Amino acid sequence: GIQVEQSPPDLILQEGANSTLRCNFSDSVNNLQWFHQNPWGQLINLFYIPSGTKQNGRLSATTVATERYSLLYISSSQTTDSGVYFCAVVGNSGNTPLVFGKGTRLSVIA
């Protein structure tokens, strides 16, 4: 099945710093989502981005489907950005569930 790799596994930032999280996937996809998992375990949808670029406030994401990667940018980080960020994909058959990466654990310190 499709493989998803995220990097880095852990990231520590000073408040106000910028960061880039990467997601590589092994096959063509028709769905790619970025999530933020908060300390209570809730998965919060950040982006639905099988291709192209989207922005939402301090966050933006770019997926280059032909090269099989996606990037999540966090600018001017805040302590509330702390948590685990997951990338998840659905392969091109379209009838499969999300396959998740192992996540990037982000800690933003004041």
Partner 1 sequence: DTGVSQDPRHKITKRGQNVTFRCDPISEHNRLYWYRQTLGQGPEFLTYFQNEAQLEKSRLLSDRFSAERPKGSFSTLEIQRTEQGDSAMYLCASSLGRIPYNEQFFGPGTRLTVL
Nearer to partner 1, 40 or 66 (CB): 40
Can you count the helices (H) and strands (E) in the chain? 0, 11
- The DSSP line for 68-110 is TEEEEEE-S--GGG-EEEEEEEEETTS-S--EE---EEEEEE-
Return left, alpha or beta for 66; rule: phi > 0 is left, psi -120 to 50 is alpha, else beta: alpha
By CB under 8 A, residue 45 contacts partner 1: yes
Please choose, out of 16-24, 58-66, 70-78, 92-100, the segment that lies near partner 1 by the rule CB under 8 A: 92-100
Tell me how far, at minimum, the Cβ of 32 lies from partner 1, in Å. 10
CA 64 to chain centre: 13
β-bridge partners, 88: 33, 100
By CB under 8 A, residue 39 contacts partner 1: no
By CB under 8 A, residue 99 contacts partner 1: yes
**Contact letters for partner 1, residues 48-87 (x by CB under 8 A):** x-x-----------------------------------x-
- Interface residues with partner 1 (CB under 8 A) are 30-31, 33, 35, 40-43, 45, 48, 50, 86, 88, 90, 94-103
